Structure 1
């Protein structure tokens, strides 16, 4: 079996690859895994060091918008797991063009190549942000798409293109929509690694607005396990929400992170709220639980403690990334 993983040097994609090549997924124990990654600022080849020597691993540096390259790497592929995306909301507010190019055109390029190569399964990894914001209850998969940021709008667009390739061409596509991920190897612009690394360096952390925006937190291991369940047994043409079951306000999350590193509230800086900031996300995971037996297994308290410990012990991984980002911002 041959698996193509796009964005496989990023946070979530690299976790999936490491798990796949370490025997965590029974159906992939003998699979060849090809990673296609452009290695933008958020892609890091070192994320794959633990499995780099595997005879079943191949890395290709390239852009998912490069149709010739995509056709080449798609040859003989049985399964595509499509993680590659521009994903940071703040960056999309500053400049949306890269998000439309990568998330929309890149996805279409992959889908067309997969269709031409008669790939057996295509899993398109998306986000709960495509639904917009919800005050009460949780979104089922058939909820209307109401994205509120350029990032989430580009992902909603890619979801619709993915769906169309199933409906029009019969490509066996499944779409997954996850809640907020956390865990090791996450680029330190996202809230949990940003706050941990700032606090470890004795720097203040920025809390948007009143801090009462609510997010559901999902450990990256649970997310990738859910993606693999969909790859193995998900019904083509269907959408599956993947959630973690831990809803917290940003203020509550901040308090937990302060406690984890022994800091107090004076390390928090209240900043102006993000433009178009969604108030609450919450996905209903009944469908994937009932059909595929998914449930989150990583307790948030345990997962957060392990994540804090990982960043504490791996300064050599994140310090260069933050230094590079600071230089770029000047």
Structure 2
């Protein structure tokens, strides 16, 4: 859960934040888009198929960090925390979704950009920061 980790540490006033490897790339789909994808599947007449839900766009964790810092107008020092690194040879460096089957079956597609999703997430965490322990590493 790197996005909440970055956001809550910065919002808590940290000048240094602890992270793992920032080079892996992920397809980050906003939760409301994911829910819409699930809902679109409810209207299908046949069941038992496998569908992927995602944006089809990949971002490195460094790009995500940079965008969060830009939105928050913040610059923090990054400390690479050994606890947050995956064991040797277990990291998957690229995960990107192909949701064409879902789009073809339902016309669903991701609508919320990464930047807009981050803005909405940041607002949520600003309003609920007291519910999070930004100093803890949760796996």
TM-score, length-normalised on structure 2?
Answer: 0.83
Match 2:47 to one of 218, 224, 236: 236
What number of residue pairs does the alignment pair up?
132
Inter-partner Cα distance in structure 1 for 2:13 and 2:32: 29
Q: 1:205 to 1:252 in 2, by over 3 A?
A: same
Q: Is the aligned partner of 1:303 residue 2:86?
A: no
8 Å contact from structure 1 (residues 207, 250) kept in 2: no
Secondary structure of 2:51 counterpart: strand
Q: Is the aligned partner of 1:215 residue 2:9?
A: no
CA drift of 1:236 comes to: 1.3
Runs of 4+ aligned structure 1 residues displaced above 3 Å come to none
Inter-partner Cα distance in structure 2 for 1:226 and 1:265: 35
Match of 2:38 in 1: 227
Match of 1:293 in 2: 107
After the TM superposition, which residues 1-330 of structure 1 pair with which residues of structure 2 at under 5 Å, given as runs? 190-203=1-14, 204-209=16-21, 211-233=22-44, 235-266=46-77, 268-272=78-82, 273-275=85-87, 276-315=90-129, 319-322=130-133
8 Å contact from structure 1 (residues 205, 269) kept in 2: yes
Inter-partner Cα distance in structure 2 for 1:225 and 1:212: 29
Q: Which of the pair has more CA radius of gyration?
A: 1
8 Å contact from structure 2 (residues 56, 98) kept in 1: no
Structure 2 residue runs of 5 or longer lacking an equivalent are none
8 Å contact from structure 1 (residues 206, 270) kept in 2: yes
Q: 1:234 to 1:223 in 2, by over 3 A?
A: farther
Secondary structure of 2:29 counterpart: strand
Inter-partner Cα distance in structure 1 for 2:45 and 2:73: 43
Secondary structure of 2:102 counterpart: helix
Deviations 1:197-243 (A, max 9, x none): 1101122322323x210000101111001001112216312100000
Deviations 1:105-135 (A, max 9, x none): xxxxxxxxxxxxxxxxxxxxxxxxxxxxxxx
Inter-partner Cα distance in structure 2 for 1:303 and 1:231: 24
CA drift of 1:271 comes to: 2.6
Deviations 1:62-111 (A, max 9, x none): xxxxxxxxxxxxxxxxxxxxxxxxxxxxxxxxxxxxxxxxxxxxxxxxxx
CA drift of 1:286 comes to: 0.9
CA drift of 1:322 comes to: 1.9
